[in-house]
Amino acid sequence: MKAFISNNRLMVLLMTVLWVKTFTVSVVTFDLALNRFLEMLIFAVNPMAFLLVVFSVGMLFSKRIQPSYYFLVALAVSGILYANAVYYREFIDIITLPMLVMGGNAGDLSTSVVELVQWYDVFFFLDLAVIAFFFKRKRDWFTLSRMSLKSGAKIYSAVAVVVLTIVVSGQVVQSDERVHSFNRDNVIKSVGLYNFYVYDAYIHLVTASQTVFADKDDWTDIQNHLSDTYVEPNRDLHGLAEDRNVVMISLESVEDFVIGETLNGEEITPFLNELIEDSFYFDNVYDQTGQGKTSDAEFMMHNSLYPIGRGAVFHAASENQFHPLLKKLGERGYESTAFHANDISFYNREEMYEQLYYDDYVEEKDYEVTEDINVGWGMLDIDFFEQSMPYLNDMQEPFYGKFLTLTNHFPYELDEEQHLIEPFDSDSDIVNRYFPTVRYTDEAVRVFFDEMKEAGLYEDTMFVLYGDHYGIAETHYEELESFLGYEVTPDESVKLDRVPVIIHIPGEEDQAFHSSTVGGQVDVLPTVVNLLGLDDQEMYMFGSDLLSEDRDEFAVLRNGDVVTDEIIYTKETCFDAEDGSERPFSDCSDAFEFGQSELHYSDQIIYGDLLRFDPEQLDPDED
């Protein structure tokens, strides 16, 4: 071994530096629950499995080519590590291959990269620059040697044994009851960051082929699951908003913790607070989006299916058949339009909206977006609503209008003269800027409601407002604690994933009430369906009516975390939902397993395009 190292100093040095860097960055950056020594040990050596393979390949090349190969590999590996570290800072997730396929449409990182990059990021690549500098100065010291498969049979065999041992050990140390593919943290712990992409490529191929191999039996199993878990909606409120127009508003990045709160003595959401008094308000609904964020929330609002865990369902399922809300409303004569002051191709909406049965859409080119109202991801929300009204007025009643707000989008930029509330004062610019943009979106909704009243459309419309996903990432929770007034423990971190859901039906204020039932975004559509008087059993929905007294209080997040009125399961730990104390896993096991089955069956529908096997979708000749 000593002679081998002496003859391959450049390779060994680069490999060792990358190994140490990967482990250090992973421990510091990624929030992984490494609860046992053996888990930590396997996590530490996992990167070496990948590095041994890619660097040992270099020994097959000539000594003239080896330096370029080794430095290119080192640069690529450092780039993967850096990209994930930057992405994790805001989105608490790993970049998956479907996100790379999405390219520009996955723009969360690319459009906000300036905000996420830090001065100390230079250290991700400084080590390579230093080694390259000394390599040119002291080239003779950085020894290289070529080794064919035949001459180096013992070395390559040893590498194979070490790699296999590391990979197999990663699977063995994970407890069977808690490992699941829906949580990328567990995959990273068991196989390592770099091997994750090998695993992810395998999963990508498997899921891509599911449509080809799916059959009617798969659909039958899911029908049985949905039938067994069906919850009767609140029949007393059935049809309360029948034949009314429907306006659905996606409140970009609005979390429930701002509702009813003040900052420096001023209400953060004064209009929403007032609206809630006369509306159905649900304060215990959880963000269930995946990497598709806003588009995932849209998908759930139309289908009550869970989004996929890798990439965006708007990309993966744009040719699938669905039973969405607008199909049923279209049968009742509703005209439907989506309003979004961004390019319609963003997140593949141009294709996906057809599958969701939209009649039309109003996009960026249909608005007059001048420089003074163009902020971050699109035009200011007040101008967005005001410019949307002429299109809404031209729609035939009854209509369905979907509005996607943009001002409260990361990184929460708003000119000072547009502030309606002062920023917060903390060490995080993100946290500080979040409150003025939330306040601006609240004001924009007030303006829209006033416009609806002036247009004579308010009384005949049901309004559904929902937060699409979290706004403040876990990486900023330490600074957010000074606003919240309490420590954000793991269970409280899950609770911060709650988003507001408000359903306002003018003239039915006496019927409205405030509910704290535990639910998720998949539960919004069944609630809307019941209020509109539609037959919920004609639609295949995983959620249940939030107004039903018979529903189980339950939500499963896209990463596999589960919440009920009694427990919270997250980071491989079971917590009491009330006091946050730790409980044995057995107290969470039933909810955990049910959450796994929910995500599994929903994924099967999407990846296998299983709704095409529904008798209503089949042509008579195919049945």
Question: Among all residues, which ones are annotated catalytic?
Answer: 294
- Strand pairing class (582-583; 245-251): unpaired
Burial of 54 (0-12, 13-18, 19+ CB in 10 A): middle
Q: Helical H runs in 532-620?
A: 586-608
Nearest CA among 269, 289, 290, 298 for reference residue 281: 269
Q: Helical H runs in 333-380?
A: 349-355
Nearest CA among 495, 523, 469 for reference residue 254: 469
Which residues, at least 6 apart from 76, have a Cβ–Cβ distance to it below 8 Å?
A: none
* Angle at 512 (CA atoms; ends 266, 239), nearest 5 degrees: 140
As a residue count, the chain comes to: 623
Residue 71: helix, strand or coil by DSSP?
helix
Can you state the percent helix, strand and coil of the chain, rounding each to 5? Answer: 50, 10, 35
CA distance 526 to 544: 5
CA distance 430 to 79: 25
Residue with tokens 């049945």: 623
DSSP string, 2-43: HHHHHH-HHHHHHHHHHHHHHHHHHHHHS-----SHHHHHHH
Burial of 199 (0-12, 13-18, 19+ CB in 10 A): middle
What letter does residue 289 receive in the DSSP assignment? -
Four-CA torsion 78, 81, 85, 86, nearest 10 degrees = 50
CA distance 295 to 102: 13
Buried b (16+ CB within 10 A) or exposed e, 456-491: ebbebbbbbbbbbbbbbbbbbbebbeebeeeebebb
Answer whether 431's CB lies under 8 Å from 424's CB.
Answer: yes
Nearest CA among 579, 597, 599 for reference residue 589: 597
CA distances to 6, 57, 144, 153 from 148, in Å: 18, 10, 13, 8
Residue with tokens 């020894």: 143
In this structure, what token pair is assigned to residue 540? 């295949």
Return the HEC string of 414-452. Answer: CCHHHCCCCCCCCCCHHHHHHHHHHHHHHHHHHHHHHHH
- The type of residue at 288 is Q
* Angle at 542 (CA atoms; ends 361, 569), nearest 5 degrees: 115
CA distance 410 to 476: 13
